[in-house]
Amino acid sequence: MEVKLLGEKRALLVRVTGELDHHMAAKIKEEVDSKMRSSNAVSIIFDFSDLTFMDSSGIGVIMGRYKKTRTLGGHVIAYGVNAQILRIMEMSGIDKIIKLTPTYEKAARLLDK
């Protein structure tokens, strides 16, 4: 996992690789929340291009971050979502709450609006 601050966009770019399960979820929450507190970021862009697996723990992470960004007036965007992960997102309805884009460029553009 890699967390990068996009200062101008007031967003964190969170690249999650491998498998997002309950074990990984705890690390993401901790790192993202601490970076949110120590920066001006109000939005999160998740890069899931190299994420091969996600279970319901991932839904919990995204939902939790969504609630946090919403109180700050920001957004959660995810890109590079594969078919298995999209199916889990659709089952939970989270695909209707956050924004999904195919590429980073499109995700970044959403924050410029």
Partner 1 sequence: MSLEFLNKSENESFARVVAAAFASTLNPTAAELAEIKTAVSEAVTNAIIHGYENSVGMVRMEGKISGKTVEFTISDDGWGIEDVKRAREPLYTGKPDCERSGMGFSIMESFMDRVEVKSRLGEGTTVKMSKTIEL
Residues that bind partner 1 (CB under 8 A): 19, 21-23, 25-26, 29, 53, 55-57, 59-61, 63-64, 83-84, 88, 91-92
Report the candidate in 112, 66, 113 with the shortest Cα–Cα distance to residue 89: 66
For partner 1, give the closer residue by CB, 83 or 113.
83
Rg of the chain's alpha carbons, rounded to an integer? Answer: 13
Q: Rank residues 48 and 108 by Cβ distance to partner 1 and give the closer one.
A: 48
Cβ atoms of 32 and 96 within 8 Å: the answer is no
Kindly state the smallest distance separating residue 94's Cβ from partner 1, in Å.
Answer: 8
User: What type of residue is 94?
Assistant: I
Q: How far is the CB of 72 from partner 1 (least distance, A)?
A: 17
Judged by CB, which is closer to partner 1: 88, or 100? 88
What is the layout of strands, in order, in the sheet containing 99-101? 2-6, 11-15, 43-47, 76-79, 99-101
Q: Nearest distance from residue 58's CB to partner 1, in Å?
A: 8
- Report strand pairing: 76-79 vs 43-47: parallel
**To the nearest whole angstrom, how small is the minimum distance from the Cβ of residue 28 to partner 1?**
11
